[in-house]
Amino acid sequence: MNGHVQRSTRRYGFRASVGAAVGMLSLTFVSACKSDRTKADKGAAPLTSAPAGLSRAAQLERTERAKKLFLAECAACHGEQGRGDGPATTVLAIKPRNFVKEKFKIRSTESGSPPTLGDIYAIVTRGMPGSAMPAFGFLSDEERTLLAEHVWSLAGLSAKRPGKVVAVTAEPPSDQGSIQRGRAVYAKLACGQCHGAQGRADGPSAKTLSDDFDRPIAARDLTREPNRGGDDAAAIHQRFRTGMDGTPMPTFSDSLNPMEGWDLAHYVASLRAPKEPLPSDPLAVGRRVIEEKQCKGCHVIEGRGGRVGPSLDVSAAKLRYDWARDFLADPRKAGKVYPDIPYRMPDLGLTPKEIDGVLAVFANVARRTYPEPPVAQVTIDESKVGPGQLIYSLKCTECHNMGNVIPLPEAKRQGPDLIEISRRMEYDWIATWIKNPQEIYPHTKMVDTNLTPEQIEQVRAFIWKTSVDAKKAQAAAVK
């Protein structure tokens, strides 16, 4: 951030240096996580160390739980071994962090030193705005703790002492006087050399920057790009003190007295333009949400994207939008829809207006309307149910269960639980899918069942009636 653009190259003193998330020259957030706390934090204090005094058996069990959790929540991007090579990597513009080789840029500790476990926990909790990494505050405190411990282990930090936490004085008031003094500090330190005179990432050195691996790295646009660790002055001040190891952003711990640091933080925070309000057009809202949340890292949407999760272009045609709305509001409530996919859909914290926008994109893809009129009740030909049950038993039980009505060993399940089909799917779409799934989605694992049109009607009648009856029984039990 100064005129001669330093790069912090001091190592942590162990084989593998570490990266904490998918940030590039990003301002970060401090362990205190003070001003932009959300409901996702659940009031949990950041960690300082892993639990002590566990028996070997208890520690092994804890380690296995952490591995499984990492596979479900993190490996789609970071890879099973944390090397930044998950299946979403090929699609994402900002590449996931390689925990094994890259340094932690997001820390509360001195430059060149390892982070604390709390630093990792904090990033898991808050995510990295502007990247594909969401906030995982919807996980329990214990789950976030386990993820932090697992990343800590992958990074080779288990036998190392955390670095010394950089002390930051209490924040003074942010007023025009502080901001103007901060402007002078910004000029004195030649921050504009990279970030530009007005903070727009257009300084003379901006296009020449690279990280420790000689990969091009972008200076942060301080006016519009989200600061991946937090936009408050405390987070910004902490970054000046710690620097961003592995990048051209040095520490200014010895260059700024406490008041200058706060003045500079207040000035940088003042450069941030207010976020543009959501558009009035629902389709534009949905496309903005999909871009900001980087949904295409995992899903094909409007013909482009990754295949970590199901194609949302197919989902747009088959799903009932009332079910999809509930799912987007709380993805974990529905349970694991696709048992063959090891990765879990995170809770993105979408607002009702954002969800409506995403479903407007769905409707546009599938040439449907949104919102749709109430779904008409399906009338089942009872004479088809018995033959359909026989066909289901012969053709479908290799992959699908139907709740407890027709159970299937968990290890055998590859497709969704069909007990939910009357809640999830459009009735008319089912026959189209069974007839030729490969034509609809060439990457599906669903095989051609070679059923006749009459047999398709029979099996559809059976699974629909079974699903509706189960729903009625569940409602009666609740009463």
The CATH 1.10.760.10 domain(s) of the chain lie at 39-154, 176-271, 282-366, 382-478
Q: What is the predicted pLDDT for the residue at 369?
A: 94
Number of other CB atoms surrounding residue 344 within 10 Å: 17
Intra-chain end-to-end CA distance of the chain, in Å: 64
Contact status, residue 367 vs residue 382, Cβ threshold 8 Å: no
Q: What is the predicted pLDDT for the residue at 53?
A: 82
| Cβ neighbours of residue 157 closer than 8 Å, sequence gap 6 or more | 14, 18, 114, 115
Q: What is the predicted pLDDT for the residue at 94?
A: 87
Q: Give CA–CA dist 366/102, Å, rounded.
A: 42
Kindly list the distances between the CA atom of residue 221 and the CA atoms of 2, 176, 293, 448, in Å, as whole numbers in the listed order. Answer: 16, 22, 19, 51
Q: What is the predicted pLDDT for the residue at 3?
A: 41
Number of other CB atoms surrounding residue 17 within 10 Å: 23
Kindly list the distances between the CA atom of residue 311 and the CA atoms of 28, 58, 330, 350, 380, in Å, as whole numbers in the listed order. Answer: 33, 40, 19, 20, 29
Q: What is the full per-residue pLDDT of the chain (479 aa) written as tens digits?
A: 444 444 443 334 433 333 333 332 233 333 333 333 333 444 444 565 667 788 999 999 999 999 999 999 999 999 999 999 999 999 998 889 999 999 988 899 999 998 999 999 999 999 988 889 999 999 999 999 999 999 999 999 887 777 899 988 999 999 999 999 999 999 999 999 999 999 999 999 999 999 998 999 999 999 999 887 788 999 999 999 999 999 999 999 988 999 999 999 999 999 999 989 999 999 999 999 999 999 999 999 999 999 999 999 999 999 999 999 999 999 999 999 999 999 999 999 999 999 999 999 999 999 999 999 888 899 999 999 999 999 999 999 999 999 999 999 988 899 999 999 999 999 999 999 999 999 999 999 998 989 999 999 999 999 999 999 999 998 888 87
Domain 176-271 listed as CATH 3.40.1670.10: no
The CATH number assigned to the domain with range 382-478 reads 1.10.760.10
pTM, two decimal places:
0.86
Q: What is the predicted pLDDT for the residue at 48?
A: 56
Segment holding 110, helix H or strand E:
none
411 burial level (CB within 10 Å; 0-12, 13-18, 19+): exposed
Return the CATH fold of 39-154.
Answer: Cytochrome Bc1 Complex; Chain D, domain 2 (1.10.760)
DSSP 406: B
Domain 282-366 listed as CATH 1.10.760.10: yes
Q: Give CA–CA dist 265/233, Å, rounded.
A: 5
Contact status, residue 91 vs residue 305, Cβ threshold 8 Å: yes
Q: What is the predicted pLDDT for the residue at 345?
A: 95
Q: What is the predicted pLDDT for the residue at 8?
A: 43
